[in-house]
Amino acid sequence: MDCDVCIIGGGPSGLAAAWQAGKTGLSVIIVDENQMLGGQLKQQRQPIQNLPDIFTNQQLTGFELAHELIHLIEPYDIKPLTGFSFIGVEADGTIGVNNGRETRKIRAKCIIVATGAAEEPILFPGWTLPGSFSIGAMQILINREKIVPGRTAVMIGSSSRTCQVASEMQQAGIIIAGVIEEKAKFDCSPSDLQHLKKLNIPLFAGVSKIRAEGEEEVENIHFKAGDGKEQSINTELVCIDGGLSPVVESNFILGYQLQFNSDLGNWIPSYDSCFHTSAPNVFVAGNAAGITSHGAILITGLIAGLSAAEALGKYSNKETVSKQRKKWWNELKTVEMAYDSTVYQARIQHVKQFEQLKIKQMS
């Protein structure tokens, strides 16, 4: 199989990159281990805020956004290869993908890594009892599978995702008996925190000694509250939000440089303002380039797709490309500053460090 661009990951950033590259006339193959494109968007039924300008005036849920992105790529030479995992690269650069039954080879001129992020656990006594879920797994159950696994739940963690999933669970009929956070302050935005308070959900920050108890499944959550008092909440479910980490295992195959940045989710590829990594013709996009918001995920995909097309000579006017990239970086700033200013500032510093290193190596 031959193509101009191979995109590893068919979530929002991969689809945005495919659309941007495909509409320049490039042939694109999207490799995704899932059977459907869209990534985690398929589990999200809440309206997504701060989408890029291409979705101006549209109030889209994650599910609707996934369908919109899939619709956008349909007119172009973009082939989804679902159910396949990226497994290796041969000496001549040929990519190997496998679905458990067969291995296929893809010869691509450019690669865009859009592998997304993985959930991190929070470990405590009883965390493996039946009734304990990651918040991502809970989204799949209630939104995609339409299964309500219990009547009451306690959320552990306090990111914006926790707030979103707690709201979705309440809409599904699950009573949120509490949100507990080990840190002294909640991670979510003030508006998200206010939303939880409006839902009359008990909130506990600065907790310690969390443990889940039950004979054969979760029945109670015990913890030491911030004021030092022991607390116990009866619950059938525990939803754990340990945060997200970029999925960068492809580094071991593609050989791009990694750099640690706690504000962007730990280890991420080094990349420049084109989202070009240290490996030749390998770009990165989405949460694989740093944990961020839905809108920013899409914009990084657009920039990576633009940069791949530029690298393959699809733009004769460099000034036009430069203006478009600058426009999207300005939009990325607006979106990420609204989401978390620390993330945008960390990204800018990350890019500057890599670009300075490249200049130093060239001199």
Phi and psi, residue 80, nearest 5°: -75, 135
* 26 and 103 belong to one structural domain: yes
| Residue 24: per-residue pLDDT | 96
Measured from the Cβ of residue 213, the count of other Cβ atoms closer than 10 Å reads 13
Residue after which a domain boundary falls, among 208, 240, 272? 240
In the 8-state DSSP scheme, what is residue 197? H
Residue 214, classified by CB atoms within 10 Å of its CB into exposed (0-12), middle (13-18) or buried (19+), is: middle
What span, in angstroms and rounded, lies between the C-alpha atoms of 217 and 196? 27
What are the CB-based long-range contacts (under 8 Å, 24+) for 56-62? 62/294
Question: pLDDT tens, 167-223?
Answer: 999 999 999 999 999 999 998 888 888 888 988 899 999 999 999 999 999 999 999
Instruction: Quote the DSSP letter at residue 39.
Output: G
Of 48, 64, 2, 51, the closest CA to residue 28 belongs to 2
Please state the rounded mean pLDDT for residues 320-345. 94
Find the Cα–Cα–Cα–Cα dihedral 246, 20, 325, 13, rounded to 10°: -20
- Looking at the fold, whether 352 and 280 belong to one and the same domain comes out as yes
Cα dihedral 353, 357, 359, 360 sign? positive
Q: Give strand ranges (E) for the chain.
A: 2-8, 28-32, 78-82, 85-89, 95-98, 103-113, 117-119, 132-134, 152-156, 175-181, 203-205, 208-213, 220-224, 230-234, 237-240, 244-246, 258-261, 266-269, 282-284
Helix 12-22 vs helix 294-311: crossing angle, to nearest 10: 30
> What burial letters (b/e) apply to 149-160, b meaning 16+ CB within 10 Å?
bbebbbbbbbbb
- For position 88, what pLDDT does the model report? 94
Answer yes or no: do 130 and 103 share one domain: no
Domain count, the chain: 2
Question: Do 179 and 272 sit in the same domain of this protein?
Answer: no
142 in the same domain as 283: no
Considering the domain architecture, whether residues 195 and 285 belong to the same structural domain is answered as no
pLDDT of residue 144: 87
Residue 132 pLDDT grade (very low, low, confident, very high; cuts 50, 70, 90) = very high
Claim to verify: residue 205 and residue 341 sit in the same structural domain: no
Out of 215, 240, 265, a domain closes at: 240
Q: State pLDDT tens for residues 25-39.
A: 999 999 999 999 999
Record the tokens describing residue 215, joined without a space.
């004979």
Last residue of a domain, one of 187, 212, 240: 240
User: Rounded distance, CA 144 to CA 142, Å?
Assistant: 6
Asked if 174 and 205 sit in the same domain, the reply is yes
> What residues does 22 pair with on adjacent strands?
none
Q: Are residues 166 and 128 in the same domain?
A: yes
- Which amino acid, residue 188? C
The pLDDT value recorded for residue 57 is 63
Eight-state DSSP code of residue 61: B
Q: Are residues 299 and 255 in the same domain?
A: yes
Place of tokens 């707690």: 166
CA distance 115 to 107: 19
334: domain CATH number is 3.50.50.60
pLDDT, averaged across the chain: 94
For 269, the domain range is 2-118+244-362
Same domain membership, residue 222 and residue 81: no
- Reduce the DSSP state of residue 361 to 3 states and report it: helix
113 plus 251 within the same structural domain = yes
Lowest-pLDDT range, 62-76, 79-93, 246-260, 349-363?
349-363
